[in-house]
Structure 1
């Protein structure tokens, strides 16, 4: 099996970022189901911020992909995933 091209990996990375957005917003819905009406902005804030960061990164990677700057798009994706993991550890403990 051959290694996918940089262009293809950039396309896959956009999908990864969109999965992160969906997962983060899905967590808000899960919390709403688990906690009910007692859910506060403090509880859902980190997930919404994470989804927003991932969505902006996905937009940036798509733009870079259209500009044929695929390596830069991969760097943005990797940086975003690492930043979100660090944010998760800091914000959610």
Structure 2
């Protein structure tokens, strides 16, 4: 699974730098240090790579938010932390 996440990150970084319409599986493979054929061992196509990148990013966000909320002692602080995490959810870097 770690390999899939790393390859998905390469796709996300490429998309962030050049936009989704210009994204190609070949570009992602190059960024991940793989051939296009090797990347196809992990993903059926570019769409499945993008779905995995989205899933991994969402999972990472939720895990970080949950840890921050759990560290709070009062319900008010937990709610404030969860809301703040959502407001900061728009990334500025890949």
So what's the TM-score if we normalise by structure 2?
Answer: 0.40
Larger relative contact order, structure 1 or 2 (CA cutoff 8 Å, min sep 6): 1
TM-score by length of 1: 0.41
| Structure (1 or 2) with the larger CA radius of gyration | 2
